[in-house]
């Protein structure tokens, strides 16, 4: 038995986003309990030229929504990056989860061979669905998801692998 492009995308992004929701809830509780300005975490970066936590969360949702939409041949939804609290970021993740849940496996038939057109900094490139998912969307999704997690850990929020894998 092989794997469908649906199975290799939507449920995988879903698990990661559920883990991100757990991390956001713990971060929110952490600042509330210690009376820390939430911006101390929301704006935290691992290095000055890296994105802050809130942007890492936004980008993580973008790769999940955009990845599944493109593979299904649907226009990827565009979101304004306006979230400035843990609650608003959680709502964005919830919205991405709800979006992923609207897809059915049948929409991914032929997705491995589908031409995916990407525009980045004004340059357009075309890549097949399979390498797009496995070698671009998925590693980028995990990059920003893990970096968001790493920023919270670095700032003392108690998270574990069970949060990351959404198994707790």
Pick between residue 82 and residue 119 the one whose CB is nearest to its own copies: 119
Shortest reach from residue 8's CB to its own copies, in Å? 6
Bridge partner list, 127? 116
Encoded tokens for 105: 């496996």
Pick between residue 115 and residue 154 the one whose CB is nearest to its own copies: 154
Shortest reach from residue 55's CB to its own copies, in Å? 14
Shortest reach from residue 40's CB to its own copies, in Å? 16
CB 168 within 8 A of CB 160: yes
Shortest reach from residue 89's CB to its own copies, in Å? 19
Pick between residue 50 and residue 87 the one whose CB is nearest to its own copies: 50
CA 155 to chain CA centroid, nearest Å: 20
Burial class (CB in 10 A: 0-12, 13-18, 19+), 147: buried
> In 34-56, which positions are buried (b, 16+ CB within 10 angstroms) versus exposed (e)?
eeeebeebbebeeeeeebbbbbb
Distances in Å between the alpha carbon of 16 and those of 86, 145, 163, 167?
17, 7, 9, 10
Shortest reach from residue 165's CB to its own copies, in Å? 6
Pick between residue 36 and residue 134 the one whose CB is nearest to its own copies: 134
Bridge partner list, 124? 119
Pick between residue 112 and residue 116 the one whose CB is nearest to its own copies: 112
Give the footprint of its own copies on this chain (CB under 8 A).
1-5, 7-8, 11-12, 15-16, 46-47, 50, 110, 112-113, 130, 134-136, 138-140, 142-143, 146-147, 149-150, 153-154, 156, 161, 164-165
């Amino acid at each position: 038995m092989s794997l469908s492009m649906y199975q290799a995308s939507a449920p995988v992004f879903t698990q990661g986003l559920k883990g991100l929701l757990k991390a956001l809830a713990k971060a929110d509780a952490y600042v509330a309990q210690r009376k820390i300005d939430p911006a101390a975490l929301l704006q935290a970066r691992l290095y000055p030229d890296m994105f802050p936590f809130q942007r890492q969360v936004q980008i993580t949702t973008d790769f999940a929504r955009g990845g599944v939409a493109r593979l299904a041949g649907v226009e990827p939804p565009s979101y304004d990056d306006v979230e400035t609290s843990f609650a608003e970021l959680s709502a964005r993740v919830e919205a991405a989860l709800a979006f992923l849940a609207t897809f059915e496996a049948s929409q991914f038939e032929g997705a491995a061979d589908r031409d995916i057109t990407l525009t980045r900094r004004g340059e357009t490139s075309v890549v097949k669905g399979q390498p797009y998912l496995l070698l671009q969307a998925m590693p980028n999704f995990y990059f920003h998801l893990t970096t968001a997690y790493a920023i919270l850990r670095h700032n003392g929020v108690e998270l574990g692998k069970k949060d990351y894998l959404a198994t707790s």
